[in-house]
Amino acid sequence: MNELLNMLINLLKHQQEFPLFEVYPAFDAVPVSAKSRNLFVVLSPECFQLHQAFPDGNSSIAPFTATFRISVLAPAVTPSEKLLEFFYTVLVPILHSANCFLYETQADAPKTDGKLQKLVYSGTFRLKGVYVPDADSQEALP
């Protein structure tokens, strides 16, 4: 799960369409007040399910499904249309480019978080892929 999370964070950080946003995992130690004053993205793993493995040559392959919540946070004065546009023209295409199959996207309505003084737009993404152990390191590749 960590490798998949890191892969998605790296895809988001290194995209070229909109280089002005920062990406954070949900469980980092950075307080919101220390994060970008502009738009930033928080990626949170919600569920990971590893399915029955099957043999493939000298190793085995295990299909998986993973669910992530992605939240876009921007200053409270940001028009919600800008967050929606960013979400669907930048984030969704990046997730489609991952080494997984993005098979479901569900988004919430934009809302204002008064405590954080941010406009928040969140969505849940479900990905399917295969876990392939590397024979040398015994680590997985999404």
pLDDT tens readout for residues 1-19: 788 888 888 888 877 666 6
- Position 138 scores a pLDDT of 42
pTM to 2 decimal places = 0.79
Here the tokens at position 86 are: 């960013």
In terms of Cα–Cα distance, which of 43, 44, 61 is closest to 52? 61
**Chain mean pLDDT for the chain:** 83
How many Cβ atoms are within 10 Å of 140's Cβ, its own excluded?
Answer: 18
| pLDDT at residue 108 tops 60 | yes
Phi-psi region of 60 (alpha: psi -120 to 50; beta: other; left: phi over 0): beta
Query: What domains appear along the chain, each with residue ranges and CATH number?
Result: 2-141 (3.30.2000.10)
Q: What is the pLDDT of residue 79?
A: 92
pLDDT over 70 (residue 110)? yes
The pairing of strands 40-50 and 22-25 is: parallel
Q: What is the pLDDT of residue 65?
A: 92
Q: What is the pLDDT of residue 78?
A: 92
Bigger pLDDT: 133 or 36? Answer: 36
Over range 60-72, report the average pLDDT.
90
Paired strand residues for 127:
66, 102
